[in-house]
Structure formats: C-alpha cells, structure tokens
Amino acid sequence: MSVTDLHPETSGSTYAESLARVEQLRADAEAKRIKNESERRRQELLDQKAAARAQREIQRDLAAAADEQRQRDDARREAAEAKARAAKSAATWRTAAKAIAIVCVVVSLPMQVMAFWDAHAWFLVAAPFVLEGVAWALLCGAQAAIDEGRPSWHYRLGALLQALVAAGINYAHGSAEYGMATGIGGALCSVIGPMIWDLHEHGRIAKRENRTRRSVRRAQRRTDRAEFQRLDAVNEARAARDAEVWERALDLAAAYGEVRPGRRSGLGRTKAPEVVPSEKTYARACVEIHGAEPGSTADRIAHMRTAKRAVRIAQNGPLDGSQTDEKPQVDSQTPAADSEPSTARAKAPKQRGEDGRKRNGGTPPRRRPGTVKYHPAAKKQMALAAARQSN
C-alpha cells in the first residue's frame, strides 16, 4: 500500500509533498501523545499531592484527638488520685480523731468515777458514765443528723456544754486530790475528746454542703461591697445630673422587677431590697426622654456639629467660596444682573467687546503668558452660569 492509498486527499500532490504531510501528521500525533502523557503525569502528581495533604491532615487530626484523649485520661487519673488521697486523708483523720477520743475517755472517766465514789452511795458511780455518755450520745445524734441532711448544731452545742460540765468536775476533784496539773489535765481530756470528734463532723458538714473556704467568702464579700459602692456612686451622679431621666429609669426598673438584694450593714443586719435600674433600662430611659443614647442631647449634638464645622473650616478654608474682596475670574466672563425688564433686554442690541466677542462686559479677560488653561469642567460651569443669568 502506498502513501497515496493511505491519504487519498493527497493523490494530486507529489510524492515528496505526501511524504512531508505524513511526517507532519506523525509529528502532530507524537506531540499530542507527549502532551497527553505530560498532562496525565501532572494530574497524577496533583492527585498524589492531594492524597499526601489529606493524609497529613488525617494524621494531624488523629494526633490532636490522641492528645485530647491523653489529656482527658490524665485529668481523670489526677482526679482519681486526688479522690483517693482525699479518702485516705479522711480515713486517717477519722482514725486519729477516734483514737484521741478513746484516750481522753480513758483519762477523764476514771477521774470522775473517783470523784463520785462513795461507799455509802455506791450508785453514784453511774454518774460519770452519764456525764461522759451524754456528750458522746449527742455527738452520735449530730452524726445521724448530718447523714440525714438535718440540722445538727443543737446536738453539737449540747455535747460541748456537757463536756464543759465534766471538765469542771475533773478540774475540781483533780486539783483537790492530786494537784493543779492533774486537775487541768483531766479537764482538758473531758473537753478535747468531744471537741476533736465535733471538728471531724464539722468537716463532713462542709463537704456535704460544698462550702467554700472562709478566705474565699471574705474576698467575695469585699468584691461585692466594692461593686455596690461603685454602683451607688454612679446612681447618685445620674440622679443629680438628670433627675427626669433617673425618675423614668426607676419607673422602668420597678416595672421590669429589677431589684437588688439587701446588703448587710455594720451591725450584721440585712437592709431591705431596693430598686436599681440596669444599664439597659437607663439607656432606654435616656432614649425616651432625650431621643438619644446616654450622655447625648439635642443641644449637645448641635454643639458638636457646629464645633466640627468650625474645625473643618479652620483646616480647609471657607466652605462657601472665597471670602476675599477680589472678584472671581468667572464674574469677569459672565454678564451682571440687569434690572431692566426681560422685554427691554430682548430688544436691546447685543453688546460686543473690542475683540468682537459677546457677553463679556465689553472687556475681554486678561490672560498672561504662562497662565494655566481652563479645565473643561470650569468651562462648562461658566457656560451654565452665563446661560442662567441670560435667562
């Protein structure tokens, strides 16, 4: 098969031309193939880059998730460790308090038995058990009240008073029989045991009620007091400067139920709640009375605009045109206002200058060498002014 048979359209051409055309077609096909291959490789490279970028993002997200999970695990572990330490400390404290109470009972109870012993009234030996037992019975009642969520202060107060009675008996008997040191020691043992256990129960109450520390409560009271003082000063200034707005703000606050709780006075008494407008309520009162936001009135806004205008004039010059005695250049090129009737002006011959131009007052404008030419906008403005005056 010849080249002519392959390409019938080139049958009228010479063999060299046909061969050249075939070579050109082959070259074009090869160039297109190379271009397609290059495009394919470029697309593969882009796909690989996109896949790598997606993989990096996935790895980053996984790393972030793993980091968050590790932080949560650390937080849970620290919380568990803190809870375990707290439980261990509470158990140790309970054991120590119980041991101290038992030791105190071992010291104070025999001294009271000796104080009440009488061979002719042997039944009085039960009195020490009553005195010491009542105190501990009341502490047990306080424990039950704490567990049930009931008030326990009266149980604890009764236990303390009973412990003081037992301490007085031990002090009197011990001082008389064995000296001052023994009397003081027996009295302290009668008080310290119930007191230590009461402190343990006090901690349980604070934990149950989730009480904050006294220093934190004191700091919070100081902060609240300072905030109340600031609000009082602001409200007094508002009431003194604009009584009408303040009265309206009080009416709105009463309607909205904006009441501030009472504060504690110096004597520990709590003052009655008072109506105090909020910032939003006071702003609404200002808008209703003055039509503007707080601190602004119609006179103040007008004064501000006047001051801004004065500053703008001082910085940029007059806003209404030149204030000098010189006539603007356009006046020499536009006719002056004529007091004659329009009909008389219509019949009057047109005035021409020495140079033959019209409507220039008979005197052509002076132009000196080097004078800047008129801007097209200035020419248009002068034409409009001249047309208005002529009409």
Q: Where do the domains of the chain lie?
A: 1-55, 101-211, 223-291
- Helices and strands (DSSP H and E) totals, the chain: 11, 2
Output the pLDDT for position 306.
Answer: 92
The DSSP annotation for 124-168 comes to: GGGHHHHHHHHHHHHHHHHHHHHHHT---HHHHHHHHHHHHHHHH
Report how far residue 4's alpha carbon sits from residue 109's, in angstroms, rounded to the nearest whole number: 135
Region label for 126, one of left (φ > 0), alpha (ψ between -120 and 50) or beta (otherwise) = alpha
Q: Which H helix or E strand runs over 21? A: helix 15-116
Output the pLDDT for position 318.
Answer: 59
Output the pTM of the full model: 0.41
Output the pLDDT for position 367.
Answer: 61
Output the pLDDT for position 323.
Answer: 47
DSSP single-letter state for residue 275? E
Output the pLDDT for position 348.
Answer: 47
Cβ burial, residue 367 (10 Å; 0-12/13-18/19+): exposed
Spatial CB neighbours of 255, under 8 Å, sequence gap ≥ 6: none
Q: Which two tokens stand for residue 147?
A: 């567990």
The DSSP annotation for 339-357 comes to: -S-HHHHHHSPPPB-TTS-
For the chain, list residues with pLDDT below 70. Answer: 1-13, 209-213, 262-271, 317-375, 391
pLDDT tens digit sequence for 1-42:
444 444 444 444 577 888 888 888 888 888 888 888 888 888
pLDDT tens digit sequence for 272-328:
778 888 889 999 999 999 888 888 888 889 999 999 999 998 888 655 544 444 444
